[in-house]
Structure 1
Amino acid sequence: MKLIAVTTPYFFIEEDKIITALFEEGLDILHLRKPETCAMYSERLLTLIPQQYHRRIVTHEHFYMKEEFCLMGIHLNARNTKEPHDYDGHISCSCHSVEEVKQKKDFYDYVFMSPVFDSISKEGYQSQYTPEELRAAAKEGIIDKNVMALGGITADNILEIKDIGFGGAAILGDLWGKFDCQNDQNYLSVIKHFRQLKEIAG
């Protein structure tokens, strides 16, 4: 099962070092999600991440960066609903219901299904699915290796995600919550937590 990290919506000083360390530890894909931020800051972050990892980064904004930095691809969501007209390459997208996953997953390289559990990073953003609904969707072939679970995923429930049949888990709040950019001197707790997630996910 793939492990995907989604960035925090804000930038911070140690971010490039943590992202590089996560790739070194075996992170499959990074989603660069910085809504309503200046492209210049995303560009700077990318220049600080070794080029060998750029092909494992998907951007949610400023789609021209895909070509400029040889990124893996782009991600569509409520803010950016369409790919550029001349775009050719990897596309993923966000889905928020079983029906939406069913309609869209065959048109994209993979889709995010969220929130599978109550969100950690977005207050009040609660899961819309029961475990029974998720298992039924997997049994029908709606949830498969091209559907990535997002929302509230932790070390305590990632095995359930794997067991249901998702192709991957996208981690946000549970990972970045291990690091306080205002006070922490090092980011070893983030790396140790990622190792634990990777070990459980197999």
Structure 2
Amino acid sequence: MKLIAVTTPYFFIEEDKIITALFEEGLDILHLRKPETCAMYSERLLSLIPQQYHKKIVTHEHFYMKEEFNLMGIHLNARNSKEPEDYEGHVSCSCHSVEEVMLKKKFYDYVFMSPIFDSISKEGYQSQYTPEDLRTATKDGIIDKNVVALGGITSDNILQVKDFGFGGAALLGDLWGKFDYCNDQNYSAVIKHFRKLKEIAG
């Protein structure tokens, strides 16, 4: 099962170092999600990440950066719902129901399905799925290797995500919550936690 990290919506000083370290530890894909931020800051962050990892980065904003930095691709959501005209390459998409996944996944390289569990990073953003809903969706072939679970994924439930048949797990609140950018002197806790998640995910 692939592990995908989604960035925090804000920038911080050690971010490029942590992202690079995560790639070195075997992170499969990074989703660069910085809503309502200036492109200049995303460009700077990308310039600090070794070029060898750019092909594993998907951007949610400023889609021109895909070509400029030779990124993996772009991600569509409510804010940016259409790919640019004449765009060619990887496209992923956010979905928020079993029905939406069923309708959209055939058009994209993979889709995010969320929130699988109650969100850690978004207060009040609670899962609408029961385990039975997810098992049925798997049995019906809706959840498969092209569907990535997002929302509330932790070391305590990531094995469930794998058992449900998702092709990947997207990490956000549980991962970045291991680092306090205001107070922590190093980010070893983030890397240690990622290793644990990777070991469980297999």
The TM tier, using the shorter chain, reads over 0.9
Distance in 2 between residues matched to 1:8 and 1:134, nearest whole Å: 27
The count of aligned residue pairs is: 202
Q: 1:154 is matched by which residue type in structure 2?
A: T
Distance in 2 between residues matched to 1:168 and 1:45, nearest whole Å: 25
Following superposition, the deviation at residue 171 of structure 1 comes to 0.3
Match of 1:157 in 2: 157
Q: 1:137 is matched by which residue type in structure 2?
A: A
Q: 2:24 aligned with 1:46, yes or no? A: no
Q: 2:155 aligned with 1:140, yes or no? A: no
Match of 2:180 in 1: 180
Unaligned regions of 5+ residues in structure 2, if any? Answer: none
Match of 2:24 in 1: 24
Following superposition, the deviation at residue 74 of structure 1 comes to 0.1
Kindly report which structure 2 residues correspond to 1:1-202, keeping only aligned pairs within 5 A, or say none: 1-202=1-202
Distance in 2 between residues matched to 1:24 and 1:180, nearest whole Å: 21
Distance in 1 between residues matched to 2:105 and 2:201, nearest whole Å: 22
Over the matched positions of the two proteins, sequence identity in percent amounts to 87
Following superposition, the deviation at residue 196 of structure 1 comes to 0.1
Q: After TM superposition, what 4+ stretches of structure 1 lie above 4 angstroms from structure 2?
A: none
Q: 1:108 is matched by which residue type in structure 2?
A: Y
TM-superposition CA deviations, 1:87-118 (whole Å, max 9, x none): 00000000000000000000000000000000
TM-superposition CA deviations, 1:50-81 (whole Å, max 9, x none): 00000000000000000000000000000000
Secondary structure of 1:93 counterpart: strand
Secondary structure of 1:104 counterpart: helix
Following superposition, the deviation at residue 197 of structure 1 comes to 0.1
Distance in 2 between residues matched to 1:135 and 1:154, nearest whole Å: 19
